[in-house]
Amino acid sequence: MSSHAGWRAVRPVAAVAAALVLAGCGSSGSSTPNAGGGGSPGSSTGSSSGSSSGSAPSGGSSGQVQGVTLTPQGSALNVGQTARVTWQPQGKAVSVAALTVTRLQREPISVFSDWRLDRTTQHSTPYFVHATVRNLGNTNLGGATVPLYLLDQSNTLLQPSSFQASFPKCPSRPLPKLTKGRTTSVCLVYFVVHHGTMRAVSFRPSGDFKAITWAGHVGG
């Protein structure tokens, strides 16, 4: 499997992951982007900033961290394979986890029929990325955001949207309480502008980290 050399830096995609307001919420919601992630209830916001998920700890790019042998940077994996990774979520100590992308799903925009979408989002393609996270370290990962990005056909990294209201099909929320040895499943939502396509999923906790990627069959 070829590597994804020459990627563009994560760029603004707020027009794609603009706030999605539940229909019927009235003026309590906002249909404009909120890059700070503090949208009103019933909204979903996305941001392009790769730093919001934390950073790669010094010395944690290869070798061992807390006794765990890490997957080398730049590894190209298939969906279903596991990477052992480390990063430092905002406000937390260095974390170590076994991360597996388990399923990729392309969805019709109609799955958001109960949400009020702006014009750009109406003409985007939603992707759901399913993954499992097993905590291998001593830090409780509750509330952390896993730095997984979607790599699209133009080599742009897109950050997942986050929902203030419930979206059971794919919650796209931070991790629940997750102590050492525990495993949880996550589903993240991405919107690719102009009906773009997914190339891969990328673990990239910082700009100088050579991403670990997953690629495989995309259902839908």
| pLDDT confidence of residue 178 | 97
As a whole number of Å, the CA-based R_g of the chain is 17
Q: Token pair of 95, please?
A: 């974390």
Beta strand pairing status for 76-78 and 212-215? parallel
Taking 90 as the threshold, does the pLDDT of residue 54 lie above it? no
- Break the chain into its structural domains and give their ranges: 51-111+120-153+167-219
Predicted confidence (pLDDT) per residue in 141-200, tens digit:
999 999 999 999 999 999 999 877 889 999 999 999 999 999 999 999 999 999 999 999
Closest CA to 124 of 144, 99, 149, 152: 152
Between 151 and 55, the more confident residue is 151
Q: Determine the pLDDT at residue 118.
A: 83
Mean local confidence (pLDDT), 22-46: 33
Pseudo-torsion of CA 52, 205, 144, 180, nearest 10°?
A: -160
* pLDDT value of residue 62: 52
In whole angstroms, give the CA distance from residue 155 to residue 45. Answer: 22
**Short-list 192, 32, 167, 184, CA closest to 104:** 192
* Tens digit of each residue's pLDDT (9 = 90 or more) over 191-209: 999 999 999 999 999 999 9
Tell me, what amino acid is at 125? T
**pLDDT of res. 133:** 98
Residue 57 has pLDDT above 60, yes or no: no
pTM of the model: 0.77
Give the range among 1-10, 83-92, 112-121, 200-209 with minimum mean pLDDT.
1-10
- Residue 139: per-residue pLDDT: 92
Q: Is the pLDDT of residue 220 over 90?
A: no
DSSP assignment of 76-106? EEETT-EEEEEEB-TTS--EEEEEEEEEEEE
In the chain, the percentage of residues whose pLDDT exceeds 70 is 71
More confident call, 1 vs 39: 1
Q: 51-111+120-153+167-219 is classed in which CATH architecture?
A: Sandwich (2.60)
Alpha carbon distance 15, 32 (integer Å):
8
Ranked by mean pLDDT, the top range of 11-20, 37-46, 121-130 is 121-130
Q: Give the count of beta carbons closer than 10 Å to the beta carbon of residue 113.
A: 9
Mean per-residue pLDDT of the chain: 79
